[in-house]
Structure 1
Amino acid sequence: MARTSRAEIWNAVHDERRALIDDLAVLETDQWHKASSCPGWDVHDVLAHLVDTARTTRLGFVRQLVAARFDFDRANAAGIEREKSPRPEHTLDAFRAVRSHTATPPAALATRLVEAFVHGEDIRRPLTIRGNYPPELVAHALAHQVRTSVKIGGGKEIAQGCHLVASDTGFDHGDGPEVRGPAIALLLAVSGRPVRTDDIAGPGVLHLLPRQGT
C-alpha cells in the first residue's frame, strides 16, 4: 500500500464530516433516536461522541481518562453527556463548528480515519443511508485495525487466522481461510460491527464473525 500523508488523512476526515453533516441535516425527529450499530448508542449519541473527539486534544484526552479512572467506556460516556444537546440539531451545529478541527487524542493518526468511517456507518446503516468512502483510505484504516489489539479499539484478534482481501483495493492481509469484500465491509467486520450477508464472502466468514464479541 502507498504511504498516506498526514494531509491526506485530515482531508478525508474533514470530507467525511462534511458528508455526514449533509446526511444528518435532513433527519426526522424519530430518526435521531434510532439505535446505531455501536452497541448502546443511538444516532444522536454517536454524533455527540464525534463532536467530543473532534474537540479532544492529547492533553485533554489524558485529563478525561484520569477523571474517568482510566475507564475508556466511562470517559466516552462522559464525553457524550458533555456534548449531547437536548435538541439534536444543536448537536449537529456543534459538529459543524468542529468540522475542520485537527485535534486528536494520543494515538496513531489512522484512528481518525477509523473513527470517521466506522462511526459514519454506525449512523448510516441503521438509517439506510449509503455512504461513499475513498477505498484506499478505508484500506489504510483497515491496515491499522488488523495490527491493533481489540483492547485498545482495534481488531487484531478478530482478524487473526483469516486471509482478508479487499475487492476494491489492493489490501491483502493474513493467512487462513479467505474473507473477501469491499474495504469498508472488512473494516466494519474487524471493528466488531455487524455486516450484511452480501457484504463479505468466503470460507473465512465462518471464522471471522463469531469472534466479533472478543
Structure 2
Amino acid sequence: MSTVDMLAMIADERHRMAELIESLKPGQLLAPSLCEGWTVHDVAAHLCAPWIFGARRIVPAVVRHGFRVHRANAELVRELALDLTAEEIGRQLRMNAEFTFNPRLVSPLGQLTDLQVHGQDICRPLGLARDLVPERMLLSLEFLLGPRARGSFVPRGRLDGLRFIADDLEWAAGQGLLTVRGTGEALLLALTGRPVVLDELSGSGVAALRARIT
C-alpha cells in the first residue's frame, strides 16, 4: 500500500464524513454517540482537530495524559464543538480532506481507522446504515492487531490470548487459542472498545473480551 493510496483513502473518508454530518438534524447532532460522554456533534468536531490544533497542541496533550489518546482528545474536543457548527465541520472536512498529520503517535493508518470508527460512533446510535469499504476495514483491522495501535487505540492486554476472525472479510489474526468471530465492522468497534457490538460476536474468547472492555 503506497502512501499516495493511503492518503487518497483518508481524503475520501473525510468527504464521506462531511456528507454524513451535513445530513444530520439538530436533534441528531445532540444525541449521545458511542464515545462515552461525547455527543454526535462532539465526535464530528473532533475530526477537525488535526488541522485546527496541529501537532503542537495535540502531542503535548497526549504526553500530558500519559499517552492516553482518548483522554487527550477529550481535553481538546469541547472547545472545537463550541466553535464549529455542523455546516462548518462539513466545510472543514472538505477543505482539508488531503491534510496530512503523521507524527509518530498517529500514523496514516491511525487516521484511516479513526475516521471509520467515528463514522460508526455517529451512525449506530442514530439507527443509520453506513457501509464501510472492505479494503479499508482490512487495513484498519491489521493496524489494530499490530504494535503501533497498542496503548493508544487498543489498551495493552485487551488482545492477549485472543484470535479474531472476520467472517465477511475472510480475515483472521491474533496469536491466542480463544476465538472471537463477527463481521469486520463489529470487530473494528470491539477492538476499539465499543461494548455495543459484543452481543454480535461469537466464539470462545468473547467472554474474556467482554470483561476487558466493560
Q: Same fold (TM over 0.5)?
A: yes
Q: For residue 184 of structure 2, what is the amino acid of its counterpart?
A: A
Residue in structure 1 matching 2:77, options 76, 80, 83 = 80
CA deviation after TM superposition for structure 1 residue 196, in Å: 3.4
Question: For the structure 1 residues 156 and 92, does the alpha-carbon distance in structure 2 shift closer, same or farther, using more than 3 Å as the test?
Answer: same
How many residues align? The count is 210
Separation in 2 of the partners of 1:74 and 1:156? 16
Question: For the structure 1 residues 71 and 182, does the alpha-carbon distance in structure 2 shift closer, same or farther, using more than 3 Å as the test?
Answer: closer
TM-score normalised by structure 1 residue count: 0.83
Separation in 1 of the partners of 2:157 and 2:64? 29
How much is the aligned-residue C-alpha RMSD, in angstroms?
A: 2.7
Assess if the C-alpha contact under 8 Å between 1:64 and 1:75 holds in 2.
yes
Question: For the structure 1 residues 74 and 202, does the alpha-carbon distance in structure 2 shift closer, same or farther, using more than 3 Å as the test?
Answer: closer
Q: Which moved more, 1:87-96 or 1:55-64?
A: 55-64
CA deviation after TM superposition for structure 1 residue 173, in Å: 1.4
User: Per-residue CA shift, 1:131-167, capped at 9, x if unaligned?
Assistant: 2222232122112212246532225522221221111
Which secondary structure does the structure 1 equivalent of 2:213 belong to? helix
Question: For the structure 1 residues 160 and 64, does the alpha-carbon distance in structure 2 shift closer, same or farther, using more than 3 Å as the test?
Answer: closer
CA deviation after TM superposition for structure 1 residue 76, in Å: 1.7
Report the counterpart of residue 164 of structure 2 in structure 1: 164
Identity %: 30
Matches of residues 86-101 of structure 1 in structure 2 within 5 Å? 87-101=85-99
1:117 correspondence with 2:116: yes
Q: For residue 183 of structure 1, what is the amino acid of its counterpart?
A: G
Question: For the structure 1 residues 156 and 171, does the alpha-carbon distance in structure 2 shift closer, same or farther, using more than 3 Å as the test?
Answer: farther
Question: For the structure 1 residues 141 and 156, does the alpha-carbon distance in structure 2 shift closer, same or farther, using more than 3 Å as the test?
Answer: farther
CA deviation after TM superposition for structure 1 residue 177, in Å: 2.2
Q: For residue 123 of structure 1, what is the amino acid of its counterpart?
A: I
User: Per-residue CA shift, 1:81-102, capped at 9, x if unaligned?
Assistant: 3422263333333333222322
Q: 5+ residue gaps in structure 2? A: none
Which secondary structure does the structure 2 equivalent of 1:163 belong to? strand
Question: For the structure 1 residues 82 and 184, does the alpha-carbon distance in structure 2 shift closer, same or farther, using more than 3 Å as the test?
Answer: same
Matches of residues 1-214 of structure 1 in structure 2 within 5 Å? 4-55=1-52, 57-65=54-62, 72=69, 75-84=72-81, 85=83, 87-107=85-105, 108-148=107-147, 151-155=151-155, 157-174=157-174, 175-196=176-197, 199-213=200-214
Q: For residue 53 of structure 1, what is the amino acid of its counterpart?
A: P
Question: For the structure 1 residues 170 and 74, does the alpha-carbon distance in structure 2 shift closer, same or farther, using more than 3 Å as the test?
Answer: closer
Assess if the C-alpha contact under 8 Å between 1:164 and 1:173 holds in 2.
yes
Q: Which 4+ stretches in 1 moved above 4 angstroms?
A: 54-60, 63-74
